[in-house]
Structure 1
Amino acid sequence: MSKTQASGKGSRVLQVLKALRGHTITGLSNKDLADALGCSPATITRDMADLIDAGLVVKLDNGRFAHSIAMLQIAQAHAEHVAKLQDRITEINRRIVAGAMN
């Protein structure tokens, strides 16, 4: 496999993850994803197998695909990290304002 093919596949897999955004409960079908990405359903099938093996996607009972719990945990960890940093920034700003009043 050439570097170009690997890069193309990597890019497509990232596009799949983005396409699944907002479809965590109902998922998207193989055809939905193929249409959205402009590739064949067979290509999506191979990509989904890779994403499932990586633990980032699951196949739902309805046959559609969605982000896995592990993927959602990554998003949740990011949100918690941002919230923690925002709390720290708020505290620093509070101290700055308090110091300006002295």
Structure 2
Amino acid sequence: MTDKTRKSDSGGRVLRVMKALKGHSLVGLSNGELAKALGESPATINRCVNTLIAEGMAVRLDTGRFALSVAALQIAQAHATEMSRASDRLNELTQRVAAGSY
């Protein structure tokens, strides 16, 4: 941990693994693919993935590859739903303002 930014290096590695899994929910990525993509050792990737699995954010597929879990995808879906509602609300407000300006 650095004193200037007060961040966790191990936490950052775990989050980088999680980001690397983005877009690979169906077939996943292997430990080796993750290690190569992130420039980390397979042992480090294994610890990161085990942390994600323990926290319910990743799963080991039947093939032995890793993917984001349903829980992680639910977070993404909840965000998309929230943004859609906000967009709908803004559109409604814009229509009301436009209707009142005539």
Same fold (TM over 0.5): yes
Instruction: Name stretches of at least 5 consecutive residues in structure 2 with no aligned partner.
Output: none
Q: Provide the secondary structure at the position in 2 that maps to 1:62.
A: coil
Runs of 4+, deviation exceeding 6 Å = none
Aligned residues: 98
1:22-53 deviation digits (Å, cap 9, x = unpaired) = 10000000000000111110111111111100
Q: Does 1:74 align with 2:51?
A: no
Higher percent of residues as helix: 1
Q: Provide the secondary structure at the position in 2 that maps to 1:33.
A: helix
Q: Does 1:61 align with 2:62?
A: yes
Q: CA RMSD in A?
A: 1.0
Paired AA for residue 66 in structure 2? F
Q: Does 1:98 align with 2:95?
A: no
Paired AA for residue 96 in structure 2? R
Return the offset for 1:61: 0.6
Partner residue, 1:7: 8
Return the offset for 1:60: 0.4
Structure-2-length-normalised TM-score: 0.92
1:54-96 deviation digits (Å, cap 9, x = unpaired) = 0000000111000000000000000000000110000000001
Q: Provide the secondary structure at the position in 2 that maps to 1:66.
A: strand
Structure 2 CA distance for aligned equivalents of residues 77 and 65 of structure 1: 22
Structure-1-length-normalised TM-score: 0.92
Paired AA for residue 36 in structure 1? A
Paired AA for residue 88 in structure 1? R
Instruction: Name stretches of at least 5 consecutive residues in structure 1 with no aligned partner.
Output: none
User: In percent, how many aligned pairs have the same letter?
Assistant: 54
Return the offset for 1:8: 1.3
